[in-house]
Amino acid sequence: MAEGNQSTVTEFILTGFPGLHPEYQDLVSAILFFVYFLTMAGNVTILFIFAMDHSLHKPMYYIILNLCTCDILFSTTTLPKIISKYWFHSGTISFTACFVQMFFVHYLGTVNSYILFLMALDRYLAVCHPLKYPILLNNSTILILSITAWVVAHAGSLMLVIRAYPLPYCASNIINHCYCDHIGITILACTDRAPYGFPAFVFAMVMLLGPLAFIVFSYCCIIIAVLKIANVQGRIKSLSTCSTQLIIISLYYLPRCFVYLASNVGITFSADMRIVIIMMYSLCPPMINPLIYCLRAKQMRESLRKQFKRRAVLKKAHVSAISD
pLDDT in tens, the chain (324 residues): 444 444 577 889 888 888 788 888 888 889 999 999 999 999 998 898 888 888 888 888 899 999 999 999 999 999 999 998 888 888 889 999 999 999 999 999 999 999 999 988 998 898 888 889 889 899 999 999 999 999 999 888 898 899 888 888 877 888 888 899 888 888 888 887 777 777 877 877 788 788 888 988 988 888 888 888 777 777 777 777 777 777 888 888 887 777 777 765 667 777 777 888 888 888 888 988 888 877 666 777 777 777 777 766 666 665 566 655
Residue 243 lies in a domain: yes
Residue 212 lies in a domain: yes
Please tell me the predicted confidence (pLDDT) of residue 2.
Answer: 42
Residue 265 lies in a domain: yes
Give CA–CA dist 73/105, Å, rounded. 9
In 3D, which of 107, 108, 106, 101 has the Cα closest to residue 12?
Answer: 101
The three-state secondary structure class of 184 is helix
Residue 322 lies in a domain: no
List of residues 6+ apart from 121 with CB closer than 8 A: 137, 214, 218
Question: From the CB of residue 154, how many other CB atoms can be counted at a distance below 10 Å?
Answer: 13
Give CA–CA dist 81/88, Å, rounded. 10
Write out the residue range of the structural domain in which residue 255 sits: 11-294
Q: Which helix (H) or strand (E) holds 93?
A: strand 92-94
Residue 323 lies in a domain: no
Residue 244 lies in a domain: yes
Question: From the CB of residue 86, how many other CB atoms can be counted at a distance below 10 Å?
Answer: 24
Q: Nearest 5°: phi and psi at 97?
A: -60, -35
CATH number at 225 reads 1.20.1070.10
Question: From the CB of residue 43, how many other CB atoms can be counted at a distance below 10 Å?
Answer: 25
The three-state secondary structure class of 24 is helix
Dihedral angle sign, alpha carbons of residues 196, 197, 201, 204: positive
Give CA–CA dist 244/292, Å, rounded. 7
Question: Number of H helices and number of E strands within the chain?
Answer: 10, 3
Residue 234: HSE in the Cβ half-sphere, 13 Å Cα cutoff:
8
Count up the domains in the chain and report the number.
Answer: 1
What is the rounded (10 degree) CA torsion for 36, 38, 42, 48? 70
Q: Which helix (H) or strand (E) holds 11?
A: strand 11-14
Residue 233 lies in a domain: yes
Give CA–CA dist 216/131, Å, rounded. 22
For residue 10, give Cα distances in angstroms to 147, 170, 253.
36, 10, 35
Residue 299 lies in a domain: no
